[in-house]
Amino acid sequence: MLHHNANARRGRYDDSLREILNIQAADESRAWLSTWEGLNAGSTPLWDLPDLAARLRVGSISVKDESNRSALGSFKALGAPIALIRLIRRLWPDQDFVPAKLTAGHYKALLQDFTVISATDGNHGRALAAAARSIGCKCVIVLHRHVNDERRVAIEQLGAQIVQIEGNYDESVKEVARRAGEHGWHVVSDTSYDGYETIPRDVMQGYGTIAAEAIEQRDKGSYTHVFIQGGVGGLAAGVVSYFAEHDGDRRPQCVIVEPGQADCLFQSAVQGQAARATGSVDSIMAGLACGEASPLAWHFLHVLADVFITIPDDAAIEAMRIFAAGSERDVPIVAGESGAAGLAGLIQVAGSAEDRAALGLGMESNVLLLNTEGATAPELYRQLTGLRADDVLETQQRWLGQQKRL
């Protein structure tokens, strides 16, 4: 299903938006994160997939591979840590905490009784737990019943206290608020709600790193389209706002991709305001299984997202397999179920003459996809693709070796 956003605009980046998300703060966040040992050094790869581009009849397909961002395996490693750094600096303004020293644990003695809490579908909680361990504070993560056991164990191994509930993601958010109020803990969430916008803003600002790197790495001219995973909207807002400020009226068309049963952003576009999903919110794309749009993220997507589409779960699974298979000219890529959603959306649009025309998608198009996660749940990845993630990575290394010899 596809919906055009009649409110989307191009041109000069609005000052009211710049006051919230801007390139200066995004680049500062990027510099601070570059010193954290929890991230791999340098930019994540931008893979070119010429065979897939030819198959889908577009000019080029570039994939920003966030599975390489850190051992955590997802883009969330950019959001939670920077939000935690900025929160601590706000709470202790007289301490003048140095970000690089914070993430290196220099202030552990001062922060050992400080506790943060968050709900998660897996990746945000894992990133927050990793950052809290580095900094030396305590971390509590609330998981709902749909979170895969592999993801729970991964968070526990980072030292976080786990609380599990029977409800869905939105109910875990409510449980976080209750426990934070009861114990005096600080919520570090990637979704906003009434009276809670500063930390989600910081999370989104961290995601601007992805756009900054993609702009630096592009060598085929400007991107014409970027397909971005939905969720609550934070990733999309952080990325497209950076493009909008940097590129102005030449910014790429922003296409938001969501599971059909977790269509909160699609419904927001239809209703013209931050809205709830209409489905069960029970998707194999766990990172996108969100029932309610972030109002702060929607503030940006309302005017910067051009198209909203929904996809079925089996489309994401097929996209995972396509990424993994690679080809003679396309590098094999490990993409988790949410990480492959952008490709699934592109395939869906590319297969419809009407949708292609509506998006202006053709042989002059330079498409950017975001692989937002690798095999963050390895056994689930094997079940869905029939492949071991380690085997795909070995094939990737052989492919890269062959390219060097050519």
**In which residue are the tokens 């969430």 written?**
189
CA distances from 63 to 12, 227, 244, 370 (A): 27, 10, 19, 6
Query: Which residue type sits at 291?
Result: G
Residues ≥6 apart with Cβ < 8 Å to 10: 248, 249, 251
Identify the active-site residue in 64, 65, 121, 170.
121
Alpha helices by DSSP H, 184-311:
198-217, 234-247, 264-271, 295-304
Alpha helices by DSSP H, 105-168:
108-111, 123-135, 149-156
Tell me how crowded residue 181 is: count the other CB atoms within 10 A of its CB. 10
d(CA 335, CA 74) in angstroms, rounded, equals: 10
- The SS3 assignment for 259 reads strand
Q: What is the side-by-side strand order in the sheet with 115-120?
A: 161-164, 138-143, 115-120, 186-187
Q: Do the Cβ atoms of 303 and 282 come closer than 8 Å?
A: no
- The SS3 assignment for 298 reads helix
Q: Quick check: is 113 catalytic?
A: no
Torsion 69-337-401-217 (CA) sign: negative
∠ at Cα 377 (339, 87), nearest 5°? 70
- Which residue, 202, 201, 34, 199, is CA-closest to 103? 34
Q: Do the Cβ atoms of 369 and 64 come closer than 8 Å?
A: yes
Tell me how crowded residue 184 is: count the other CB atoms within 10 A of its CB. 7
Q: Quick check: is 220 catalytic?
A: no
State CA 89 to chain mean position distance: 24
Residues ≥6 apart with Cβ < 8 Å to 386: 321
d(CA 63, CA 160) in angstroms, rounded, equals: 32
Catalytic residues: 76, 121
